[in-house]
Homo-oligomer: A and B are copies of this chain.
Amino acid sequence: MTPAISPARLMRRLTALGEIGALEGGGVCRLALGDADKAGRDWLVAEMERLGLAVFVDAIGNIWGLRAGRGQGAPVMVGSHIDTVATGGLYDGALGVLAGLELIETLNENGIDTEAPVAVAAFTNEEGARFAPDMMGSGVYCGALGRDEMLAVTATDGAGVVGAELDRIGYRGSAAPVVPAAYLELHIEQGPVLEREGLRIGAVTGVQGIHWTEFTVHGQTNHAGTTPMALRRDAGQVAMRIAREADAIAAAFGPPQVATVGVFELSPGLVNVVPETARLTVDLRNTDGNRLNEATRRLTGFAETAAAQAGCTLSTRPLARFAPVGFDAALVGKVEAAARARQMSVRRMPSGAGHDAQMFAPLCPTAMIFVPSEKGLSHNVKEHSDEADCAAGAQMLLDLVCDLAGARI
């Protein structure tokens, strides 16, 4: 049996990092490459050094600390991110990184060495809240995103460019990314499923495919009182039909298909004016790439017909097209078995959100461990996960690293 991690120490680190960029009244704001992110990075690097890790920083600012193994092979890597959204919580990302520090400290204090090196990584700008796209650091690390292109990305609010911000905060490094022997990420679920089912651990089978589509409908603005219904070209009602169809598709396809209309805008947006223009976004997700493509085709076809029927014109813009990612079946099985070995309740489940782990899936055996999120809340200052759940996830991470890295216990 591997030794036990220290829940109290894990929570102390979560609290300590949560004080950096803390918001009044709770929650945290450490937008990527801002001053609070720099302070969080400085704190993280100091912790890594205190634990005796060799610290590396690459060209996009990813940080990893390496604990040497007996052998010279590729490291087993655990990681996540420490950047947050503008009104984020203390657990999203941070849990995965700080559980990595905790497992290193547990190995250290128990004098356990491993055959393979063990790396703990924090990837730049996972959230995409300040710079698009999200998962930027892990995407560059794994070769899915172009380094120079990402260094040139301007902030969504126009204030700052990735490369210049990295220089400003002192985190443009030169270390060469190393393909790990395996990649493991502990993360809060950010959804309600584990809590609803009273389970402690999710063995994540993969990440849903994501299609974001923006529809813009152009009709004709008219006076709400003087224009008979038959003479209208109401962009708003066409957009409402598209939004309702997205919901109907999710109902017709059934789980795991989900559909969300998060943005919906009318112009000119006056009580007594028939809208001239309507813009909405539809977020469709499914673990089955074919079904997801089918959902998107059905929606865009419906939108074209609905616009034409109302005498409106439509422009359809794909904002994101991510195919589903399947994690390594053997490694997912190990996660499940490791939970059972500790008498922790567990289920297999897909991830509805994107994570750094998905970038590693094409490169090496990859898996994720989920722990419950209270009320499913995340990207929210009220985000919370119980200490017992966080500790359980960290223990799983240690157990699996010991297995994968060949710990001598």
- Report how far A237 CA is from B245 CA in the complex, Å: 10
Given contact pairs A263-B269, A266-B262, A226 touches B379 in the complex (Cβ within 8 A) = no
Give A343 Cβ to nearest chain B Cβ, in Å: 26
Among the stretches A26-34, A143-151, A166-174, A188-196, the one at the interface with B is A188-196
B226, B244, B263: the one contacting A237 at CB < 8 Å is B244
> A189 — nearest CB in chain B belongs to which residue?
B226
Chain B's closest residue to A378 (CB) is: B223
Interface check A208, CB cutoff 8 A:
yes
Q: Pick the contact of A243 from B240, B247, B250, B259 — CB < 8 Å?
A: B240
**Interface size counted on chain A using CB atoms at 8 A:** 63
The verdict on A319 contacting chain B, using a C-beta distance below 8 Å, is yes
Q: Is B274 touching A262 in the complex (CB atoms < 8 A)?
A: yes
Name the distance in Å between A173's Cβ and chain B's nearest Cβ. Answer: 30
Q: Which of A94-102, A289-297, A348-356 contacts the other chain?
A: A348-356
A256 touches B (CB below 8 Å)? yes
CA distance A322 to B162 in the complex (A): 56
Question: Across the interface, which residues of B come within 8 angstroms of A260, CB to CB?
Answer: 224, 234, 271-274
- Asked if A408 CB lies within 8 Å of chain B CBs, one says no
The reply on A275 being an interface residue by CB < 8 A is: yes
Cβ of A69 within 8 Å of any chain B Cβ, yes or no, is no
Q: Does A52 contact B (CB under 8 A)?
A: no
With an 8 A cutoff between CB atoms, is A8 at the interface? no
Pair B353/A223 contact, Cβ less than 8 Å: yes
Chain B residues, Cβ within 8 Å of A259: 229
Against B, the Cβ 8 Å flags (1 = close, 0 = not) of A340-360 are: 000000000001111000000
Asked if A266 and B264 sit within 8 Å, CB to CB, the answer is: yes
Query: Is A222 an interface residue, CB under 8 A from the partner?
Result: yes
B193, B281, B351: the one contacting A271 at CB < 8 Å is B281
30 residue pairs bridging A and B, Cβ less than 8 Å apart:
A191-B225, A191-B227, A192-B226, A193-B226, A193-B228, A193-B231, A208-B225, A212-B272, A222-B377, A223-B376, A224-B262, A225-B351, A225-B352, A226-B378, A228-B255, A228-B258, A231-B376, A236-B243, A236-B264, A237-B247, A240-B244, A240-B264, A260-B272, A260-B274, A261-B266, A262-B269, A263-B271, A264-B265, A264-B266, A271-B281
